[in-house]
Amino acid sequence: MRLEQQPEAHEDPHYQGHYDAAAACPSWAKDWDCMLDGDTNRPNLFATYNKAAESITVRPEQVYKPYDCDLRPWDPEHFAECTAAKRIIMIGDSLMRQQWLSLACMLADVTVSGEHHFWDEEKIPVAMEHDYIARGIPGDFRIPRQYIGRFDLKSGAQVFLRAFGRFNLTLWDDVFAEFQPLTDNDVIIVNFGAWYPRYNVHEQGDPWKAWQEDMTELINLRLSRYAARSFYRSATATHFGGVNGTMTFEKSAADALAEKGGCMSSPLNEAWYEDWMKTFLRSCGPRCSKIGILPVFDLTQARYDAHHGNFGRGKGTWTLDCRHFCTSVTDFWNLVFYNQFC
């Protein structure tokens, strides 16, 4: 399904999300935050955090509601109970890190300990001995290993983060060596996409073809063979300009972004990643029965107003950050997971 949405009034007119980042987030789960760190466009912050749908004209007291289903309200105690003694392994790039940090804040009241830092091989039980080369990029482009993290819930659940930019089968196996053997008590949430823009005037090679080949390998050789239940979180929209949000087709879009000082809506964006994955999993049949999709693309397509760059991240550099989102968006990805899994 697609989570297309409509705005709906929240019962609390002062609602500003699932938590107060300054008060609720553990010290090890702090990141750049629109509310705490933003120094630009601050009058729009209230509206950005109170609405979660269509356009900037939505009233502040309105929040996201999908057309086709009702989402249960977030309940950290029930989430902890639902995932008791399970391992949740979150794999992807910096946007998956955002989702992991969001989940850490949402579960702060039921968490007993946690850690989060830049990738430090001494903290990884398995040695990373290879140069992991990305598919489809000219030359020997080595995949960046970005972040690791873990937090433990009172229920015995463990939530892990392993963030690296692009998929590589050897790197995947080296990372998962510490989690073997995987069982039906394990849950994998995975996404790769931000490092594979289909159309980008700055990108060499053929990222779209490379992404299809990498995801085919990931599903056929790993996820479909695991006892663990897996969720592929769909790609998210970027709003750097151009028809599909990736500064493509017209150079003037990049110049307009700098002049505007904020991220821009896009009429198309990269919905084909989610569409391709849905088609692939349908054709995969019973052997992919343990693989689901977290369909978050439509939650991000209209949210050009909720990127870090709108509130100052990247200001004064070569480009604003129109890829990463305020927590008003990322928290809903975890709400969707909660509703699907529990």
Tens digit of each residue's pLDDT (9 = 90 or more) over 56-99: 333 333 445 554 457 788 999 999 999 999 999 999 999 999 99
Structure confidence at residue 257 (pLDDT): 76
Structure confidence at residue 44 (pLDDT): 81
Structure confidence at residue 202 (pLDDT): 61
Structure confidence at residue 87 (pLDDT): 98
Query: Residues of the chain whose pLDDT is less than 70?
Result: 1-17, 50-69, 121-122, 124-129, 200-205, 247-254
CATH class of 14-341: alpha beta
Residue 84 is encoded by which pair of tokens? 């008791």
Closest CA to 307 of 253, 257, 254: 257
Domain ranges of the chain: 14-341
Structure confidence at residue 128 (pLDDT): 66
Structure confidence at residue 315 (pLDDT): 81
